[in-house]
């Protein structure tokens, strides 16, 4: 049975991946991304908008938000991006581990209150695969490993980039 995953890229573009990693780039309105527009769609006002470079010609500006297929592609040996459910589960695994104390400390420093529940953070998961001999041995495609971008709901970012969560083994690791 082929599973289809939907990956929202930072420019409001999604990548549908099915079976043997056949890909189709599709632009989506940010409301369709599943978390109310995280991150902001192209062209949205942002505090740093004056310093943001113009999108590249490959960013599909004429079809952004239309839901039209803009380019088919295929690849092998890649995993689809983690679903929202996998990302939330990775956060739970991280918080349940001893490494979760660092996340709690960052949350406390950023908000002035303790982290009471994972729902206080918005997370976006990214596939982690080791490159060469560096990195976690099991994260070579045999295990489902995820890195997280975490943000306080309506607030600042929390530093989680140094962590890799192995969802297959249900363990969190800190990268050197």
Do 16 and 26 meet the contact criterion of CB atoms below 8 Å apart? yes
User: Per-residue pLDDT averaged across 101-117, rounded?
Assistant: 95
Q: What's the pLDDT tens digit per position in 38-90?
A: 444 344 444 443 444 554 555 444 555 677 888 887 777 788 889 999 999 99
Q: Which residues partner with 164 through β-bridges?
A: 173
**36 pLDDT tier (thresholds 50, 70, 90):** very low
DSSP code, position 131: B
What residue spans of 66-133 are helical by DSSP H? 84-96, 100-111
Q: Residue 10: pLDDT above 80? A: no
Euclidean distance between the first and the last CA atom of the chain, given in angstroms as a whole number = 38
Q: Could you give the domains of the chain?
A: 4-74 (no CATH), 84-174 (3.10.450)
Q: What's the pLDDT tens digit per position in 126-167?
A: 999 877 666 677 887 788 999 999 999 999 999 999 999 999
Cβ neighbour number for residue 56 with a 10 Å cutoff: 9
Cβ neighbour number for residue 80 with a 10 Å cutoff: 18
- At residue 35, the pLDDT reads 44
Q: Residue 117: pLDDT above 80? A: yes
Q: Furthest-apart CA pair in the chain: how many Å?
A: 47
Q: Across the chain, how many H-helices and E-strands are there?
A: 2, 9
Output the pTM of the full model.
0.60
């Amino acid at each position: 049975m082929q599973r289809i995953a939907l990956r929202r890229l930072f420019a409001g573009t999604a990548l549908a991946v099915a079976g043997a990693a056949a890909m189709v780039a599709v632009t989506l309105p940010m409301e369709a991304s599943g978390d109310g527009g995280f991150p902001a769609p192209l062209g949205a006002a942002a505090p740093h908008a004056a310093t943001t470079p113009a999108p590249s010609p490959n960013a599909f500006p004429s079809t952004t938000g239309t839901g039209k297929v803009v380019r088919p592609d295929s690849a092998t040996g890649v995993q689809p991006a983690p679903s929202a459910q996998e990302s939330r589960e990775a956060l739970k695994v991280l918080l349940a581990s001893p490494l979760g104390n660092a996340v709690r400390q960052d949350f406390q420093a950023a908000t002035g209150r303790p982290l009471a529940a994972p729902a206080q953070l918005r997370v976006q998961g990214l596939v982690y695969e080791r490159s060469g001999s560096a990195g976690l041995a099991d994260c070579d495609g045999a295990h489902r490993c995820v890195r997280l971008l975490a943000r306080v709901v309506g607030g600042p970012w929390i530093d989680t980039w140094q962590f890799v969560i192995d969802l297959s083994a249900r363990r969190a690791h800190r990268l050197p």
